[in-house]
Amino acid sequence: MKPRIAMVLGDPAGIGPELVARLLAEPQARSAAEVLLIADREEFERGCGVAKVRIPEGEIELREWRGAYGAFTRAEATANGGRYSLDTLDAALEATSKGTTDAVVFGPLNKAALHRAGMRHADELHWFAERLGHRGPVCEFNVLDGLWTSRVTSHVALKEVAGLITQERVIEAIALIDRALRASGVAQPRIAVCGLNPHLGDGGAFGREELDIIGPAVERARQLGHPAAGPFSADTIFIKARDGAFDAVVTMYHDQGQIALKLMGFHRGVTVQGGLPIPITTPAHGTAFDIAGRGAADVGAMRRAFELACRMAKAG
């Protein structure tokens, strides 16, 4: 049976509509899944026009979404665009929660627009968790060419990071990414865990977190059945991971993983909203206001987000 994917355009001011149009114009994408597109028809058709594509009649299901948004502004973060983004996402979550669809794929959102529309959460991941009534741990995963990364801490000041690294949090991050990888079809994920300090603290000379917290957490995670290894020095593990030695890298802080991932090919990356009861994916890049509406946006990450959602829908 084909996976059924609920899709939304993301922020209409950005490159989301043209990317969704370009993706759904690919016969391979349409044959890989049954697509339920929840979108304002005009916005989608506008996206098709920008991408210079036509979707054959009846090949996807379009659930028209119209609200009292007024005209959408282009290439700008507005409450209007944010409200439309959240409303369509809400409909996609509902369709997937009740089993009409198996997974959600969304076009790039604009955080400022979401906040202007009244979202109180720091990011969409926590908004998703609340809308889905999910109280367990959540974590954003970044996926690039089959390599998954997650982080124990995220949007916190660097000076707060060390104090937030606990055995519990490290084990939780390992368990979350292990489950997500299995849900995406990797039977026995190979998970590398980063250290915190340069050269792993060089045996305690500059930092003891590897010895006192991260090492024991990796050991405990293994006892719990999660195939984790490490800690590894952050400045060399991504070379090995890129070369295929691991399926995932668990990082301790935001830039530890993001510096590496963005260098390795940001435009190809996918973000997975991890820990939630349903698979949700999106391209890792943003709304790209600077090129929106020009038809120049690369569909690669959107295609990968879609393919990954299909795999997770099937395996789950």
Residue with tokens 């889905």: 132
State which residue, 121 or 208, has the beta carbon closest to a copy of itself: 208
- Write b or e for each residue in 147-161: b if 16 or more Cβ atoms lie within 10 A of its Cβ, otherwise e: bbbbbbbbeeeeeeb
Dihedral sign from CA coordinates of 82, 83, 86, 89:
negative
Beta pairing class for 270-274 and 280-283? antiparallel
| Interface residue with a copy of itself, options 116, 169, 222, 262 (CB under 8 A) | 262
| Interface residue with a copy of itself, options 180, 260, 278, 301 (CB under 8 A) | 260
Contact pattern for a copy of itself over residues 216 through 255, marking x by CB under 8 A: ------------------xxx-xx--x----------xxx
145 makes contact with a copy of itself (CB under 8 A): no
Torsion of Cα atoms, 149 then 85 then 22 then 260, to 10°: -20
Cα dist. 212→132, 141, 166, 217 in Å?
36, 26, 10, 9
- Report the nearest approach of a copy of itself to the CB of residue 129 (Å): 20
- Write b or e for each residue in 62-81: b if 16 or more Cβ atoms lie within 10 A of its Cβ, otherwise e: bbebeeebeebeeebbbbbb
| Interface residue with a copy of itself, options 138, 264, 291, 315 (CB under 8 A) | 264
Choose the binding region for a copy of itself from 25-33, 149-157, 213-221, 290-298 (rule: CB under 8 A).
Answer: 149-157
DSSP-derived letter for residue 201 is G
Beta pairing class for 270-274 and 139-144? antiparallel
State which residue, 133 or 163, has the beta carbon closest to a copy of itself: 163
Size of the site for a copy of itself (CB under 8 A): 39
- Report the nearest approach of a copy of itself to the CB of residue 178 (Å): 23
- Report the nearest approach of a copy of itself to the CB of residue 292 (Å): 19
Judged by CB under 8 A, the chain residues 12 through 71 that form the site for a copy of itself are: none
**Could you tell me which of 86, 81, 78, 35 has the C-alpha nearest to residue 59?**
35
Distance between CA 258 and CA 154 in Å, rounded?
10
Distance between CA 159 and CA 97 in Å, rounded?
39
- Report the nearest approach of a copy of itself to the CB of residue 260 (Å): 5
Choose the binding region for a copy of itself from 18-26, 65-73, 100-108, 151-159 (rule: CB under 8 A).
Answer: 151-159
- Report the nearest approach of a copy of itself to the CB of residue 98 (Å): 36
CB 219 within 8 A of CB 225: no
Judged by CB under 8 A, the chain residues 152 through 211 that form the site for a copy of itself are: 154-163, 196-199, 201-202, 205-209
| Interface residue with a copy of itself, options 85, 88, 150, 258 (CB under 8 A) | 258
Phi, psi of 273 (to 5 degrees): -80, 95
- Report the nearest approach of a copy of itself to the CB of residue 163 (Å): 7
Cα dist. 140→61, 215, 250 in Å?
29, 23, 11
- Report the nearest approach of a copy of itself to the CB of residue 111 (Å): 10
Interacting residue ranges for a copy of itself, rule: CB under 8 A: 154-163, 196-199, 201-202, 205-209, 234-236, 238-239, 242, 253-256, 258-264, 266
